[in-house]
Amino acid sequence: MQSQFYGIAALSAVVLQFLPISLPLAIAQEHEGCFMVNASGELVNLSSLCDTEDRRPVLTPEQLKAQAFIEAYIQAANEYEPPLKDFLLQEIRRVPQQKIQTAQKICQEAKEGISIPEWRLRTRVEAIEIADPRKQEEFIADRDLTISLATNHYCPEFANR
């Protein structure tokens, strides 16, 4: 009986050597990244499904400040009634960098001695020169919004002045 057992064990060992056994091993990959080869032999890129790494760019503190300024501008613009709301939203989308530069200029001049109330007065004086009442209202709303947000984001030391 024991010899039969050894015979079956030896025969099993020989048979197992010739059976195709699929092990989940990968020694090398023919393409980089996450992909699959479909039934037609075509390479299908799956990076968007497999990628778990956050690929958003790292923003500098100045870029984060600018982003926060733009988001605050949009949020504040949404508080206005149309068509003024529509104008403000269109402006920040059309020329965001210009709004940021104006805010930075306001703060730079505030540090040089031009007060925030003086900026508001300057806005009213400049608005008088605009003939179209609708454009005048848009100019004042945009500038007032930019002044308020400038002091919140670029020169908080002048926020309560």
Q: What is the pLDDT of residues 22-73, one digit of tens each?
A: 545 555 566 677 777 788 777 778 777 775 565 678 899 999 999 999 999 9
What is the SS3 assignment for 112? coil
Asked whether residue 130 carries a pLDDT value surpassing 50, the answer given is yes
Q: State whether the Cα torsion 23-28-31-32 is positive or negative.
A: positive
Average pLDDT score over residue span 104-130: 96
Spatial distance between the Cα atoms of 37 and 43, rounded to a whole number of angstroms = 5
3-state helix vs strand vs coil in the chain, percent to 5: 65, 5, 35
Tokens of 148: 């308020």
Query: Which tens digits make up the pLDDT trace of 3-20?
Result: 554 444 444 454 445 545
- Rounded (5°) CA angle 88-89-90: 90
Q: What are phi and psi of 60, to 5 degrees?
A: -75, 165
Q: Which two tokens stand for residue 34?
A: 């996450």
Backbone angles phi, psi at 140, to 5 degrees: -65, -45
Per-residue pLDDT at 37:
78
pLDDT at 10: 47
Contact 73, 93 (CB under 8 A): no
Distance CA 151, CA 159 (A): 5
Mean pLDDT of 106-128: 96
